[in-house]
Chains A and B, each alone.
Chain A
Amino acid sequence: TQLLEQSPQFLSIQEGENLTVYCNSSSVFSSLQWYRQEPGEGPVLLVTVVTGGEVKKLKRLTFQFGDARKDSSLHITAAQPGDTGLYLCAGARGGADGLTFGKGTHLIIQP
């Protein structure tokens, strides 16, 4: 059983459309991070959210941490081809487990 479930697994949309991807868990996290990974490269950190209900914006990307700190969402407005990539969420719970990553959402923005 995956601790962090991301949905959808794959998403292909046209340039200019809006989209939301989700990261859900039954566990509480002290913080949650979002990364984007492009082919042949390591993931790059986009944002960290730490407070329940927190909303952070990064240009056209809006990240939200659930009130109970069990889930998060990433909303992209007016998607562009440069947004194409694998979006990963990762949760920290403290203890000896290390960061837990979801399997990711493969996003393709078609021109």
Chain B
Amino acid sequence: KAGVTQTPRYLIKTRGQQVTLSCSPISGHRSVSWYQQTPGQGLQFLFEYFSETQRNKGNFPGRFSGRQFSNSRSEMNVSTLELGDSALYLCASSLMTQYEQYFGPGTRLTVT
């Protein structure tokens, strides 16, 4: 089976802009979760989608949003980018909510 894919792998944006990241889960996985990883805070949970519905949400501002499509592919959007949003954004898919996660390689976002 093909693994989790994320696009783009690297992105540079300017403060105030918005960005959309994409994730394609493993075939058959209906749960997709998004995480932000930084050296200071580690891996922090953003949100989880299952069958196109947001099931869980982490403690992030409303600038962070996501959605899941009927084919389980997911996108996350960050509006009004801030310098502190610079991070590695990881997507993970799983068979069920909060189950074993299979991660993609991540998108490295740099905000200048």
Answer yes or no: A66 CB below 8 A from chain B CBs: no
Contact partners of B43 in chain A: CB under 8 A: 43, 88, 90, 101, 103-104
A101, B90: Cβ atoms closer than 8 Å: no
Within 8 A of A (CB), among B66-107: 90, 92, 98-106
Number of residues in B with C-beta < 8 Å to the partner?
A: 25
Closest B residue to A4 using CB positions: B42
Per-residue CB contact flags for chain B residues 35-63 toward chain A (1 = under 8 Å, else 0) read 10000011111011000000111100000
Answer yes or no: A111 CB below 8 A from chain B CBs: no
Which residues of B pack against A, CB within 8 Å?
A: 4, 33, 35, 41-45, 47-48, 55-58, 90, 92, 98-106
B98, A43: Cβ atoms closer than 8 Å: no
Give B10 Cβ to nearest chain A Cβ, in Å: 11
A90, B47: Cβ atoms closer than 8 Å: no
Q: Known interface pairs A42-B4, A98-B58. Does A92 touch B45 (Cβ–Cβ under 8 Å)?
A: no
